[in-house]
Structure 1
Amino acid sequence: MSGPMLDKLVRFERPERSLPYAWAMDDAARAAVFGTDPASYATAVQSLDAQRADAVRRLAATPSVRSALGRAPFTTGDRVITIGESTTADRLSWFELLAALFAAERPDLGLQFENLAISGSTTTQALANLPALRRRQAEVVFCMLGANDARRFPGAEGDRLVSAAETTRNLRLIRRGAVGGPGARWVWIAPTPIDERRIAAHPYLGGVGLAWTGADVRATAAILHATADPDDLVIDPADAAGPLPLLDDGLHPQLDAQVALAAHVLEQLAGPDR
């Protein structure tokens, strides 16, 4: 495999996270999983790394981001983990951008970021993985789940993969599960807006009967507000400044959208500039 399909798979899929017993997987094994050779795999990774580095430079040059970096509510040495699905597992995700941004611009903090997101994950799957997640101690836990729960089949009038009631229950149980350890600060991020028409037109989504609706995305944001603890922070990407452009599947954010989301998350964390 090579070309755009390989690039997209390498961008969004991290086999060692889906196969936790294969944590020692090397790049040769990862290349084999993607049906390619190690050199092609390395080229795809290097291209994504270069795109991420450029995006971080753009973020660092943004005045509101620079200001928020100075107000970031982290303590030296904090561990920061995230659980989620493809929008977060993305090698160019908002979380990966923030990790690289703090490493470059605030090395004095010595923050430790760990991305535990798994593409395609539902809240049910995350709940099933809770025992493994509880071993991770952290001061800050980000959680961006719920988009895959809202996947419908067949078509937009079909049933949800996970009902709204079950999503609510799962998120409450995940929050109670003490991921990150007692006292960890939780930050919930709602799903990014989607484009129903482009999803319906996409051969590997709408073409096989899969659908997402804007109403379900908005409902998930409401669920997060209803289930979060009083001290938790809930961030809705729909409130970000500017548009959040999507890939041709109408579901996944383009890099520019991830940049905008990273800035929005950081600014919400930092609070208003006084």
Structure 2
Amino acid sequence: METNINPQWVKLVQSQHPEKLLPFARNMEEQTLAAIYGMDADTYRSIKRQLTQQAQDAALGMLEDPAFAGKVDRLPFQAGQTVVAIGESTTDDLLSWFELLRQLVGLRRPKAGIQFMNEGISGNTTAQLLRRVSGIAAGEPDWILCMIGSNDAVRIGPEPAKTQVSAAETAKNLTAIRHIAASRTKAGWVWLTPPYFNEEGAAAYPYFQFGQLTWRNEDITRVGDIIRSFPDKVVDTQAGFAMHDAQLLLGPDGVHPTFEGQKAIVTQLVEELTGGSAE
């Protein structure tokens, strides 16, 4: 990434995508989007190009492992299919597990014409996704990959704080999301559990302190338990993150995965979808 670009701009373009928030804004011109971020269009394009290149370079590095490359080749996505990811910031990120998946498949199967659509929106709860899922399903994707629930689990306010969405309501929302998708599509469905948090890191993070936001692993474990109870394919990132150093896989806020964490998620996804086991 060019050192003369404001790192805050890079972070915004990487993790916040206003064009997703309103249906009529999906085809917003780059000049308008750049102005929303407070930058010129050339800077906006440069940041997006460099983030895409970073994801591609990481994918190329991962594919240097012949065994892993073979597993990418065996992913169940067929030529011409559309793969949609739905979720929150861990998915919305331009360096997310899903963007890495896009690059991995594109590099190995460039002529397959497989489309990857990132419908994650930073900050979304299951209730917000429930409101959007009919529109997403109307596009009749062939695969839907869903990671959601971290924002349900955040506790807001001074102690005793409540979670933003109760576990009972999360369960109802997830059930309804899956029902809507099943009623409108024949898509293959894959759940990904939201990763664990680094509670100490989250508690020390200034933004979370200012907003009185608290993150507890007991809460996200409940979300994981709900997801693990469903009959569809489940990629249990909670189990994967529990096997590794949280300092490596989670960023300074204790909640969002680092790039290494995102690579761990996509590695586990590829393993699970091809019948292997994550190491």
Task: State the TM-score, normalizing by the size of structure 2.
Answer: 0.90
Q: Does 1:151 align with 2:154?
A: yes
Listed one character per residue, the Cα deviations across residues 8-30 of structure 1 (whole Å, up to 9, x for unaligned) are 11111111111221111121111
Which has the higher mean CA deviation after the structures are superposed, 237-246 or 102-111? 237-246
2:254 pairs with one of 245, 250, 254: 250
Q: 1-side partners of 2:258 and 2:57: how far apart?
A: 14
Q: 2-side partners of 1:60 and 1:222: how far apart?
A: 32
Q: Does 1:29 align with 2:32?
A: yes
Residue 155 of structure 1 deviates from its aligned partner by: 4.9
Q: Does 1:137 align with 2:146?
A: no
2:85 pairs with one of 82, 85, 88: 82
Q: 2-side partners of 1:201 and 1:195: how far apart?
A: 10
Q: Does 1:219 align with 2:219?
A: no
2:50 pairs with one of 47, 51, 57: 47
Q: 1-side partners of 2:178 and 2:94: how far apart?
A: 25
Structure-2 residue corresponding to 1:259: 263
Instruction: Spell out structure 1 runs of 4+ moving beyond 6 A.
Output: none
- Relative to 1, partners in 2 of residues 1:62 and 1:157: Cα closer, same or farther, differing over 3 Å? farther
Amino acid at match of 1:20: P
SS at match of 2:146: strand
2:20 pairs with one of 9, 14, 17: 17
1:269 pairs with one of 257, 267, 273: 273
Contact 1:140-1:185 at 8 Å conserved across structures? yes
Question: Is there any run of 5+ residues in structure 2 with no aligned partner, and where?
Answer: none
Contact 2:83-2:117 at 8 Å conserved across structures? yes
Q: 2-side partners of 1:80 and 1:139: how far apart?
A: 6
Bigger relative contact order, structure 1 or 2 (CA pairs below 8 A, ≥6 apart): 1
Amino acid at match of 1:239: A
Residue 118 of structure 1 deviates from its aligned partner by: 0.7
Q: 2-side partners of 1:260 and 1:216: how far apart?
A: 22
Could you say what the CA RMSD is over the residues aligned between the two structures, in angstroms?
A: 1.9
Q: 1-side partners of 2:43 and 2:214: how far apart?
A: 32
Contact 2:140-2:186 at 8 Å conserved across structures? no
- Relative to 1, partners in 2 of residues 1:21 and 1:201: Cα closer, same or farther, differing over 3 Å? same
Contact 1:141-1:180 at 8 Å conserved across structures? no
Contact 1:82-1:117 at 8 Å conserved across structures? yes
Q: 2-side partners of 1:247 and 1:4: how far apart?
A: 16
- Relative to 1, partners in 2 of residues 1:53 and 1:156: Cα closer, same or farther, differing over 3 Å? farther
Residue 193 of structure 1 deviates from its aligned partner by: 1.7
Structure-1 residue corresponding to 2:169: 166
Amino acid at match of 2:209: G
Listed one character per residue, the Cα deviations across residues 117-136 of structure 1 (whole Å, up to 9, x for unaligned) are 11111000011113312212
Q: 1-side partners of 2:139 and 2:153: how far apart?
A: 28
Aligned length: 269
Listed one character per residue, the Cα deviations across residues 15-48 of structure 1 (whole Å, up to 9, x for unaligned) are 1111221111121111111122223322322321
- Relative to 1, partners in 2 of residues 1:61 and 1:6: Cα closer, same or farther, differing over 3 Å? same
Q: Does 1:235 align with 2:235?
A: yes
Task: State the TM-score, normalizing by the size of structure 1.
Answer: 0.92
Contact 2:141-2:185 at 8 Å conserved across structures? no
Q: 1-side partners of 2:75 and 2:158: how far apart?
A: 42
- Relative to 1, partners in 2 of residues 1:159 and 1:50: Cα closer, same or farther, differing over 3 Å? same
SS at match of 2:189: strand
- Relative to 1, partners in 2 of residues 1:109 and 1:47: Cα closer, same or farther, differing over 3 Å? closer
SS at match of 1:119: coil
Contact 2:14-2:93 at 8 Å conserved across structures? yes
Residue 179 of structure 1 deviates from its aligned partner by: 5.8
Q: 2-side partners of 1:179 and 1:112: how far apart?
A: 20
Q: 2-side partners of 1:34 and 1:272: how far apart?
A: 42
Contact 1:86-1:118 at 8 Å conserved across structures? yes
Contact 2:197-2:215 at 8 Å conserved across structures? yes
Q: Does 1:192 align with 2:209?
A: no
Contact 1:69-1:106 at 8 Å conserved across structures? no
Amino acid at match of 1:57: L
